[in-house]
Amino acid sequence: MFEALTARPPDSILALVQMYRDDPRQTKVDLGVGVYKDATGLTPIMRAVKTAEKQLWDVQDTKVYTGLAGDPAFSDAMINLVLGTAVARDAVASVATPGGTGAVRQAFELVQMARPDARVFVSDPTWPNHLSILGYLNVDVVNYRYFDEETRGVDFDGMIADLKTAKSGDVVLLHGCCHNPTGANLNLTQWQAVIDVLLETGAVPMIDIAYQGFGDGLDEDAAATRLVASSVPECLIAASCSKNFGIYRERTGVLMVVSQSTQARKLHQDTLAFLNRQNFSFPPDHGARLVTMILTDDALRADWMAELEEVRGNMLDLRSQLAAELQRLSGSDRFGFLAQHRGMFSRLGTTQDKVIEMREKHAIYMVGDSRMNIAGLNAQTVPILAQAIIDAGV
């Protein structure tokens, strides 16, 4: 039977990783893989995570399964982190998932169960795995305009015009903060306009928030998600702990269903648990337990927040350094958008040919659509990247 299988298209980012590894040049710069790196090129384990793991080692006396939804204390901690007091706790159903990707997958499956003919509106561009999962599930996808290649900001008028074509029962996928792959974000006034369109059309928002704390701060980055959740009849939220806790390999995420009808919470909770059972039974617990310990212990939480602020500040500094160096080399402020973007990524808005030229001539490795991981830079590589951008005529 397996001879009928056909080869899958290669993953462009994984292929880029291998090309980088095979490149012998000492000046090569990896801006492809979406993980945070410090100035030494290491993705460190955060201090609070280390401390929590040591504490857990001492007190944990079983590895028995948690419930289908995971540890309720983890859900409570994450709902508090993401939503604060924006909605009542009894308005939220939630389950732990294997990473933010698992939450996204479960959300799309929930949409299929509830409304098989639903269309999912996604930003152009969006995280490639959004499209990959939707395609695998045979969900109808509609692109809405988002990134303006000229200004390297948001094409907000185009976005609103496209979202107005959504219908009741459709889903609009939104990035809660630090838009991946562009780094260009909506302001709160624009978010309110999006909410007005959602209320007008009856479309349901789904928010993917994977970088809370990487943009303008924990509460600031959650502000849009909280505004949406408190303003619409129902919404989906997929949240990841990979980046802001640095626990990528622990696969820790959560899916929330928020409804103004609190009577619907039990049905939502039971359905989410059912989906977990069909896909992987019980979610992984180690990362979730560490997150719970950090968020519910004053000392651990304070240390985590302080280190997360260091991470955020480092990325903002790198953005400012790169924008300043490009202004010096080009004599113009056309790269000022890099300092305005937020999160790990920015999109240069250039052609694949120029991306290839930067790779071949300067050993700069970024994704073909010109998405680059700002956290892959350091003070020594910023000038290398800036010169490559200028030489390529970006």
Contact of 294 with 304, CB cutoff 8 Å:
yes
- DSSP label of 62: -
DSSP states of 193-252 as a string? Answer: HHHHHHHHH-PEEEEEE--TTSSS-HHHHHHHHHHHHTTSSEEEEEEE-TTTS--GGG-E
Structure tokens at 64: 């028995």
Closest CA to 45 of 377, 307, 326, 285: 307
Contact of 104 with 129, CB cutoff 8 Å:
yes
Contact of 286 with 251, CB cutoff 8 Å:
no
In one letter, which amino acid is 373? N
Alpha carbon dihedral 300, 301, 307, 308, in 10-degree steps, equals 150
Question: Could you give the CA distance from residue 101 to residue 58 in angstroms, rounded to a whole number?
Answer: 31
Secondary structure of 300-349 in HEC code, one letter for each residue = HHHHHHHHHHHHHHHHHHHHHHHHHHHHHHHCCCCCCHHHHCCCCEEECC
Instruction: Please state at what angle helix 286-296 crosses helix 298-330, rounded to 10 degrees.
Output: 100
Closest CA to 49 of 304, 243, 254, 296: 304
Three-class secondary structure of residue 278 per DSSP: helix
For the chain, how many residues are written? Answer: 394
Contact of 49 with 245, CB cutoff 8 Å:
yes
User: Any idea which residues carry the catalytic annotation?
Assistant: 127, 208, 210, 243
